[in-house]
Amino acid sequence: MTWLQTIILGIVEGITEFLPISSTGHMIIVSSIMGINEEAFTKLFEVCIQFGAILSVVVLYWKKFFDFSRWQFYVKLIAAFIPAAIFGALLSKKIDALLESSLTVGISMFVGGIILLFIDDLFNQPQIDDDKEISYPKAFIIGCFQVIAMIPGVSRSAATIVGGLQQKLTRRLAAEFSFFLAVPTMFAATVKKLWDYKKQGLTLHSSDMTMLIAGNIIAFIVAMFAIRTFIKYVQKHNFKAFGIYRIIAGMAIFGLLYAGIIKSGKEAEQTKSAFVYQLHQR
């Protein structure tokens, strides 16, 4: 990775992490366009800079995060985190394989966009506008929606916001709870990715560490602005604009795949090769 690529990915992560447009999907496509998507360090970098983004949540909402008298708040986050923790551990290898598939990202972006076009009409009677009113079962159900986001391109933010709306949270509170839930989820993902990197016998050199730190700082700064802007937006507008963007982005990815500018991923390439081989055998 070059310094320019580090800056680009840091900005992309900061902008997209908390918007319902899939940060992972965007980074997979951007790194693929830059030709660095198959590098081991790039895969580590794309996960670890999410830590910088989640720190922006802790800073912006520090009063809630460090008010230890509200212990129920932490229990709700744990309840919401449990489903992703379980499925993440069980499906780790499958998730890693999907993370290499640009085709999966394109399909998820497109389908998710269609869902966001109608989500406000489906859940248009919110009743909860304070996180104190979120029950433990509701928090757990929202966490179950987060499991869907293990598919690249779905968007963790989109999935948990939809889960919040389904549990009758207002758009603002659904977005904020999604931000809060990102903290334990992304922290755990970062630790696991670093551990897996070490288990593979790979070493982080000083230049790699410098790029990781820089990427986290960039993601942190950009995410601060992205969160504030997003919260102001959803208080006055619906999610249709994000749905339209996702549909356009999904179609753009299909176009890039068709033109050969980006690859569909190892898993998709293997499936395609097997299919072509069977055709020739007939």
Residue 115's pLDDT band, with cuts at 50, 70 and 90, is very high
pLDDT of residue 151 exceeding 80, the answer is yes
Q: What is the pLDDT of residue 265?
A: 62
Q: What is the pLDDT of residue 266?
A: 54
CA proximity to 163, closest of 187, 130, 134, 183: 134
**Domain map (residue ranges) of the chain:** 3-281
> Considering just the CA atoms, what is the radius of gyration of the chain in Å?
19
Rounded Cα distance, 5 and 31, in Å: 8
- Tell me, what amino acid is at 40? A
Asked which of 2-6, 22-26, 63-67, 91-95 is least confident by mean pLDDT, the reply is: 91-95
Half-sphere exposure of 105 (CA within 13 A, CB side): 28
Residue 169's pLDDT band, with cuts at 50, 70 and 90, is very high
Per residue in 21-54, is it b (16+ CB within 10 Å) or e — as a string? bbbbbbbbbbbbebebbeeebbbbbbbbbbbbbb
Rounded Cα distance, 175 and 185, in Å: 15
Residue 204's pLDDT band, with cuts at 50, 70 and 90, is confident
Chain-centroid distance of CA 129 in Å reads 24
Q: Mean of the pLDDT values across residues 3-12?
A: 96
Q: For residue range 240-280, what is the model confidence (pLDDT) as tens digits?
A: 999 999 999 999 999 999 988 887 765 444 444 443 444 44
Q: What is the pLDDT of residue 78?
A: 95
Q: What is the pLDDT of residue 280?
A: 46
